[in-house]
Structures are given as C-alpha cells and as structure tokens.
Amino acid sequence: MIADNKISRQIESYIKYKQSLGYQLKIESQELRRFAKYTRDIEYNGSLTIDLAMQWASLDSGYSRWYMARRLETVHTFAVYAASIDSKAQIPQTGVFGKCHGRVAPYIYTEEEILRLMNESANLFSTDGIRCMTVSTALGLLWSTGIRVSELTNLTVKDVNLEERYLYIRDTKFHKDRLVPLHQTVLEQLEKYESQVQAKLPGRSKEDFFFVNTNGRRFNTRAFEYAFQQLRPCLIPDVGHRWNGRRPRLYDIRHTFACRTILKWLESGEDANQKIYLLSVYMGHVKPADTYWYLSSTPELLSLACDKFELHCGKEFQSYE
C-alpha cells in the first residue's frame, strides 16, 4: 500500500480550501478521506476518473442506493475542484444511483409525550441523581426553545444568563451566534436545576458546562442520545408494539417546536407567512427555506388549512351549486 498519492494530496487541498471559506465539512471530509485511503489501498497514483469514483461509490453490495448516491455526490463535488487544478481529472455525473437527498417524516411529539419522557428520566441510573435532573431539564429546554441538541450540550454556565433571561448560543452551525430569550417558566426550571447541581458540585465556574452528568462529567451529545434511547420505550408502553416508521429522535423535538409555533400563530390569527422570518432567525437558520424544512403536515395544521380554504373559497364553490 502506498503512503501518499495525487488524489490524497488533492483532497487535503480541497478540504483546506473549503474550510478557509467557512465550511465545517465534517462528514464530507471523513468520506473523502475514506475515498483517498481506498485509492492508496489499491495503489492508484493517477488523476481522478469516473470509473474510480463509480467503483468506490458502489464498493459494497450491501450499500443502499441512497448511500451510494451520497458517496458519488461527495466525490462529484470534490471532482469539480480537482478538475480546476488537474486537467486529467474527470467529473462523475450524479443521479446514477438516484437521489441522495430525501426528507424522512420526523416524529412530532405531543406535550404529554414530552412530559412522559421527562418523568421517566427519574428512573435512569444515577449514583448522585445529577443525571436524572440533567436529562429531564434538558428535554424541557429542547421542547421550550427548539435549539439544536449540540447547542444545548455546548452551553456553559455563563451562556445561560438567568438574570437577563436568555441563552447565548455561540459559534454554532454556520459560525453564527444568537440570543434565545427564555420564558419565565423555563427560567424557573433552569434556576432550580443550577441550584441543585451547585449543591452537589460546589465551586462551579462560569466556564464549566451548564449541563453535567454523574459526578460532574460533561453531558455531551452522545450521553444525551444514549439516555434518550433508554427513555424512548416509554412512548410505546404496549408490549409488542412496534414503531410505524423511523423511531423518534431527540432532533425531532426541534421539528416539533417549529410545527407548534406555526400552529400557535395560525390559531391566534397571526400572519405565519410574515412571522416565519422571525422563527428562522430564532432557530438559527440562514434563510426561511431552511425553516420550512422543519414543518410537517400535522393533523392540526391540516385542519386549520382546510378551514381557511373553506372560508376563502367556500362562497365561490357555493355559487356553482
């Protein structure tokens, strides 16, 4: 196996170039480095070719068409860059394996289900009780603010401004900072949580993470997701029941927040089309189109849409009767 080759060098150059433009490129860089390793494993030292890209994208017969499409698209994006610095590099066409971007319907939680998850948190194993309090409070904060899971687990004590009632979300997706105002009820629960943790872990500094695990360890995203997996069965208490589709995720709480907000506006007679810009900024999106991605046609939203349609067009239809 060769230690270095042309494609490996071009991929590292491409990653540095994209990162210099502000792209995080986490998953794409991992995938491209796997591709580079593949070319080294087969001792290939030439320019990128269509056949090479296709061979790598469909390397394993167990790959789904969606995953092969994603791998091919990743190489395609890199190939455009490679062709600009290497006249022999070829650009593979996407679409050979079908579409690689699809939206799976998220799980839209009810308030009762979130409360059930929060109550179930008390049964999690925790030698000092901190983990139980943390998971319950974190679920409540996701429900009430719609922030990203990673944004929550990255909060430090100084980011949770209890005096001025806001969260300071720093250097998040797209390298954006934003302030998230807190409702009084949310503020009270955060104050209660901080007081309880402080009693068990005296001497916490402003730089410490706000949410912590057992014995004061950091409560990171992986720890949150693992705890959620243990809680999730409480949503299907009937023995032998199975999920109809993909299992609920922590991230679906963010989808639920967007849908609940739109529903609340429509029920109160406010112009949701106009206020979507406020929701987009609040959720940390670059443009409203990103916010629309989070909306789902829930029964409540569909019912309101039907009522508005009948109100707007009902008289016109009656004239044809």
- Say what the pTM is: 0.68
pLDDT of residue 218: 94
Residue 273: predicted pLDDT: 79
Q: What is the DSSP string of 33-98?
A: HHHHHHHHHTT--S---HHHHHHHHT-STT--HHHHHHHHHHHHHHHHHHHHH-TT---PPS-TT-
Low-confidence ranges of the chain (pLDDT < 70): 1, 100-104, 174, 237-245, 292-294, 296-321
**Token pair of 284 as six digits:** 């940390």
pLDDT by residue (tens digit) across 161-190? 999 999 999 877 767 789 999 999 999 999
How many residues in total does the chain contain?
A: 321
Question: How many angstroms separate the CA atoms of 91 and 78, rounded?
Answer: 9
Query: Domain residue spans in the chain?
Result: 6-85, 111-235, 252-318
To the question of domain 111-235 being in CATH 1.10.443.10, the answer is yes
Task: Give me the pLDDT at residue 57, please.
Answer: 93
Non-local (6+) Cβ contacts of 212 within 8 A are 130, 134, 197, 201, 218, 219
